[in-house]
Amino acid sequence: MGIFHSLSLYSVAFFIVVIAFIVRGTIGFGSGLIAVASLILLMPVKLAVPLVFLLDLTAALVLGSYDAKQVVWRDVLWVLPFASVGVFIGGFILKKASPGSVTFILGLFILVYVLYALWVKLDKLPKIRTLWAIPLGLLGGLAGSLYGGGGPPLVAYLQLRKLDKRQFRATMQLVAGMNNVLRGILYVALGLLTLPIGLGYLALLPAMLLGLWIGNKVHLRINAKLFQEVVLVVLTLVGLKLMIPV
């Protein structure tokens, strides 16, 4: 199974990926943060991030095919160039940074996102201009390369552009998918994608597909606000764990 040296390790990773992609299938993002933040407790960050990248790329293609006609191209053309710059910067940082420092920053990043999600009242904020794509796109691409979790800054941009639900999901998947293609090229060039990681991706592909399928079912049956609050509790616990020195 590539990077999995025991059945128990694979079983835990399988469960983590199912949960992460249930979230992705339900709310359209969040799989990278949850999967990387959890898998990093089982394996080095330089294995977890490229592994989740492959799963996220596949998920973006699957979800993006549903609402392709709803893509808001104006926002894509603004945010994608800056997110791409962030992807390259983050990839080089991932290659050079020590696992300990990256892990701590990941925990901090998650907690900042949780505070943002808890306290910002999006419905009371005005529609932002496309120029906000510059800082939020850069941050989204940077975080995506470092942690496989570039969603929150890009989510903030698209939410504050006041896209409707279908436009938001379609545009988010397109930006995420194109960024993931760039990340893949960069990861190959930097030697971060290896055969064992590829085998690990194939082993976890059924978990990702199962999570997306369940997530679509859950989306129709559960209160979305309650579900997101549960996700924030889990992210808080994981973020605190990552920031506490072992």
pLDDT band at 214 (very low <50, low <70, confident <90, very high): very high
* 8 A C-beta contact, residue 28 and residue 66: no
Residue 29 above 60 pLDDT? yes
At 17 the pLDDT is: 96
Largest CA distance in the chain: 51
- In angstroms and rounded to an integer, the radius of gyration of the C-alpha atoms of the chain is 17
- Local structure of residue 41 (DSSP, 8 states): T
Torsion angle of the four alpha carbons 58, 63, 65, 67, in this order, in degrees rounded to the nearest 10 = -160
pLDDT digits (tens, 9 = 90+) for 84-142: 888 888 777 777 766 556 667 767 777 887 787 777 765 666 788 889 889 888 888 87
Please state, in angstroms and rounded to a whole number, the distance separating the CA atoms of residues 127 and 109: 25
Confidence (pLDDT) at 229: 73
Contact between residue 176 and residue 150 where contact means Cβ atoms under 8 Å apart: yes
Residue 204 reports pLDDT greater than 90: yes
Give the three-state DSSP class for 207: helix
Lowest mean pLDDT of 22-26, 190-194, 237-241, name the range: 237-241
**pTM, full prediction:** 0.73
Q: Is the pLDDT of residue 24 over 70?
A: yes
- Using CA atoms, how far apart are residues 71 and 84, in angstroms rounded to an integer? 18
What tokens appear for 135 in the block?
């800082």
Phi, psi angle pair for 127, to nearest 5°: -65, 130
Give the position of tokens 């390369």.
Answer: 145
- What is the per-residue pLDDT across 220-236, written as a single tens digit (0 to 9) for each? 787 756 766 766 777 78
How many helices (H) does the chain have, and how many strands (E)? 10, 0
> At 191, which amino acid appears?
G
Q: Are 31 and 20 in contact (CB under 8 A)?
A: yes
* Residue 129 DSSP code: P
Res. 201: pLDDT tops 70: yes
Q: What string of DSSP letters covers 13-24?
A: HHHHHHHHHHHH
Question: Taking CA 54 as the corner, what is the angle to CA 15 and CA 190, rounded to the nearest 5 degrees?
Answer: 130
pLDDT of 10 higher than 80? yes
State the alpha helices, DSSP H only, in 97-132: 99-119
Residue 125's identity, in one-letter code, is L
